[in-house]
A and B are shown apart, each in its own frame.
Chain A
Amino acid sequence: MPFTPKMTRPILTQRIPTPPYGNPKDRRVISYAAYTASGGYAGLRKAIAMSPDDVVNEVKNSQLRGRGGAGFPCGLKWTFLPKPDANGEGGPRYLAINADESEPGTFKDRLLMDFDPHLVLEGIAICCYACRIQTAYFYIRGEYHHQARVMENAIREAYEHGIFGGTGLFSGASTKNRDTPWKVECFLHRGAGAYICGEETGLLESLEGKRGWPRNKPPFPAIKGLFGKPTIINNVETLAHVPSIIENGAAWFGTMGCESSIKGAPPSYGTKLMGVSGHVERPGVFECDLGIPLRTLVEQYCGGMRKGKKYKGAIPGGVSMGILGPDQFDAELDFDIGRKYNVLGLGTAGPTIFDEDTDMVAVARNIARFFKHESCGQCTPCREGSGWLYQLLSRIEEGNAKSRDLDLALEIATSMGTMSGTTICGLADGNNWAVRTIMNKFRDEFEARVKPTFIPVGITLGGAGLGGTGLQTGVMV
């Protein structure tokens, strides 16, 4: 069935020319002046005329799901914060914005930071107002040097124009139900090259000036987070959706994206930034309805497969998600993808596409090396398992492995992760799903690379004790 887009105009990329709506050559960094001149900060203005609870409810009703990988309902997360006291306060509480974007194959938050920083800042301001938060930390990965400068500059502009700091949001405009304005501070905090700091509690540790070791949960950050205080953690793209939801209403958001095809499962509403990489003619970030089939994305947005080659497989959104096989090119990119196509999930919706010439054993080895490198070392199954998997896959790639190594690799992979209950964070699940699905969906490629295993079988000829000869033989499997 051909796919018909439901979005009629770009939302997140309304100021960032992106095909098919605009030409990337026309992209400019949107300044505060340009942002407000094109309707920016109207969502925040509307939000502060609403009660904080109404803002939370609007976001909740929109069914916006987190864009950082897990797809957790954003508004629902906001309600997990302890209720503020009668003054609308409740002691310090924090917002940490996750701009760590380090999952291989993921480069979508960067587009927003590169060109439309105020869209993200507006989302931050609205979240802080709604959740009664006065301090927000923008945690950006260390390698995003340019993006850190753009964001730093935009934050400075926002301070100068009375969005942050000073006497309160909008230079101390009074807010609904309260005569006192709501004041928000926003600080940029640079990471220093550690993928694990994208995991939300690793991020909090890093903000506290410690090594980025993920924490055991519970307690969840909404109760006990940064410096032990209630903390909300949201992805950049998630927050960038908030201004337009407040401006246009929850129902409007539901006109884009798709319903779930699984009974009782929540919908995948709204648009999504999809960063396509790998063997396509025109890779890049595109804004699409959730639910767009991978094939449509590749053929209609990316100019098809590179050099007319055939599609072989794709990682739906970051290497943690596992792989879509040759027969899954029509998979719909929405939050149901995990249950329907035997992958971990949609992840960051940044598909990496492989053509027919790709060596899938090398793909598995590359991913295994990444996880071995990035395991923080706290949990034994992850620290040791990631190393073993990398070694085994390297041996398979080099042709030095035996067929039983395939089962060993699968067994190690399967034993790792929060789902199997052996680790603190989801990094090991990613390792597990990536290796397991690649090996299972491309099993023949792996089998072709290994030597048969010789299993010795002892056979005794002649009666025991009658001087019979022991003979060694065996079977090849």
Chain B
Amino acid sequence: MAWITKNSAGMKVERRSEPYLTPAMRDELTRTVLPRYEQKQGALLPALHMIQHEYAWIPSQAMQEIAEFLGLKAADVLDAASFYEEYWLTPRGEHIISVCRSIACEFCDHKAVTEACKAKLGIEVGETTDDGTFTLIEIECLGSCGTAPAALVNEKLVENATAETISRAIDEARATPHHHNGRH
């Protein structure tokens, strides 16, 4: 969510014929999400979560579909989506490892955890493995400071993480196909 200036002018939107926002998602948004908010835009974060949950990232076409569905400008959707760190607007690995680097974790040796991930996956922080299976990032406090160091493997929290436990969690994620890795 840091302050990043992007070159949005002349942005090319890749397209596919099949919509990302499926009829089932539209139905769910209409039935359960939209009635919760006084203004339609309130449903924007839930809609973005839905897309990311399904595809692991948020393609531009999906943002345009959401904009149309909620009666917003595509720019408003991009404006909000690009603000939030959890939303991936470029593709990432199938599994994501997020190691906490904030105060309690750094001073309880989060480095050992990050280094173990780097060694095991052969990538640096911020990179994705060549086969597109894993992305490794470091993030700020996960709200698990009492059991530092902490890391998230997809949606699963690894507390008191060590080189061994994080390595095991990576193996478990690898053995779990996309649709069963905690995202579904």
Q: Do B141 and A211 touch across chains, with their CB atoms under 8 A apart?
A: no
Contact B85 A358 (CB under 8 A): no
Q: Is A2 an interface residue (CB 8 A)?
A: no
Tell me whether A276 and B146 are in contact (CB under 8 A): yes
CA distance A146 to B39 in the complex (A): 28
User: Which of A209, A210, A374 makes the CB contact (< 8 A) with B43?
Assistant: A209
A315, B103: Cβ atoms under 8 Å? Answer: yes
How far, in angstroms, from A350 to B45 measured CA to CA in the complex?
29
* Residue in contact with A103 in the complex, picked from B38, B83, B87, B141, CB distance below 8 Å: B141
Question: Could you tell me the distance between the alpha carbons of A372 and B3 in the complex, rounded to whole angstroms?
Answer: 9
Q: A104 on the interface (CB 8 Å rule)? A: yes
Closest residue of chain B to A113 (Cβ to Cβ) is B143
Q: A92-B38, A210-B41, A277-B148 are in contact. Are A190 and B143 (CB under 8 A)?
A: no
Residue A201 lies at the interface, judged by CB distance under 8 Å to chain B? no
The answer to whether A227 has its CB under 8 Å from any CB of chain B is yes
Q: Which of A107, A141, A208 contacts B42 (CB 8 A)?
A: A208
Q: Which of A189, A275, A370 contacts B102 (CB 8 A)?
A: A370
Q: Report B160 CB to chain A, min CB distance, Å.
A: 10
Q: How far is the CB of B75 from chain A (nearest CB, A)?
A: 12
The contact of B1 among A196, A278, A315, by CB within 8 Å, is: A196
Whether a CB of chain B sits under 8 angstroms from the CB of A110 is yes
A373 an interface residue at 8 Å Cβ cutoff? yes
Which of A173-181, A216-224, A375-383 is near enough to bind chain B?
A375-383
Query: In the complex, which residue of chain A has the Cβ closest to the Cβ of B36?
Result: A187
* Residues in B whose Cβ lies below 8 Å from that of A406: none
Contact of A350 among B3, B83, B106, B145 (CB under 8 A): B145
User: CB-nearest residue of chain B relative to A375?
Assistant: B3
Q: Which of B106, B140, B141, B155 has the most CB of A within 10 A?
A: B141
Q: In the complex, what residues of B have CB within 8 A of residue A104's CB?
A: 102-104, 140-141, 145
What residues on B are CB-neighbors of A193 within 8 Å? Answer: 1, 84-87, 139
B103 contacts across to A, CB distance below 8 A = 104-105, 277-278, 315, 319, 352, 363, 366-367, 370
Chain A residue contacts of B42, Cβ below 8 A: 207-209, 227
Once the chains bind, are B146 and A374 in contact (CB under 8 Å)? no
Among residues 68 to 83 in chain B, which have CB atoms less than 8 Å away from a CB atom of chain A?
A: 70, 76, 79-80, 83
A187→B104 CA distance, assembly (Å)? 32
* Contact A210/B155 with A106-B143, A107-B145, A352-B104 known, Cβ cut-off 8 Å: no
By beta carbon, the residue of chain B nearest A102 is B141
Q: Is A284 interfacial (CB-CB < 8 Å)? A: yes
Q: How far is the CA of A191 from the CA of B147 in the complex (A)?
A: 23
Bound together, the chains give a CA A293 to CA B3 distance in angstroms of 39
Q: Which residues from B are CB-within-8-Å of A206?
A: 45
By size class, the interface of chain A is: 35 or more
Interface string of A340-374 (1 = CB under 8 A from B): 00000000001010100010001100110010111
A474 to chain B, nearest CB (A): 39
Assembly CA distance A67 to B8 (angstroms): 41
Q: Which partner residue on chain B sits nearest A285 by CB separation?
A: B146
Closest residue to A434 on the B side, CB-wise? B103
With A106-B145, A107-B145, A209-B41: A376-B107 Cβ-Cβ less than 8 Å: no
List chain A residues, Cβ under 8 A from B85. 192-194
The reply to whether the CB of B9 lies closer than 8 angstroms to some CB of chain A is: no
* A212 lies within 8 A of chain B by Cβ: yes
Decide if B104 touches A105 in the complex (CB within 8 Å): yes
> Known contacts being A143-B152, A193-B85, A319-B103, is A372 close to B142, with CB within 8 Å?
no
Bound-state Cα–Cα, A354 to B108, Å: 10
Of A102, A285, A373, A374, chain B has the most CB atoms within 10 Å of the CB of: A373
B143, closest chain A residue (CB):
A107
> How far does the alpha carbon of A131 sit from the alpha carbon of B17 in the complex, in Å?
50
| A465-B66 Cα distance, complex, nearest whole Å | 79
Contacts of B139 in A (CB 8 A): 143, 193
Contacts of A212 in B (CB 8 A): 83-84
- Is A283 an interface residue when CB atoms closer than 8 A count as contact? yes
B49 contacts A190, CB within 8 Å? yes
B66 to chain A, nearest CB (A): 10
Q: Please give, as numbers and ranges, the residues of chain B lying within 8 Å of A192 by CB-CB distance.
A: 45, 48-49, 84-87
Q: Which residue of B lies closest to A148 (CB)?
A: B155
B182 at the binding interface (Cβ < 8 Å) = yes
Q: In this assembly, does B157 line the interface, its C-beta being within 8 Å of a C-beta of chain A?
A: yes
Distance of A275 Cα from B103 Cα, bound (Å): 14
Query: Closest CB-CB distance, A175 to chain B, in whole Å?
Result: 24
9 nearest A-B pairs in the assembled complex, by CB-CB distance:
A209-B44, A377-B3, A193-B86, A211-B83, A192-B84, A209-B41, A277-B145, A193-B85, A104-B102
Give 9 pairs: A residue, B residue, CB < 8 Å, sorted on A. Answer: A102-B141, A104-B140, A145-B157, A191-B84, A191-B86, A193-B85, A277-B145, A362-B106, A370-B102
Task: Known pairs A105-B104, A206-B45, A283-B147; list 19 more (Cβ under 8 Å).
Answer: A106-B145, A145-B157, A187-B36, A191-B84, A192-B45, A209-B39, A209-B42, A209-B43, A209-B70, A210-B44, A212-B83, A277-B146, A278-B103, A319-B102, A352-B104, A352-B107, A366-B107, A370-B103, A374-B2
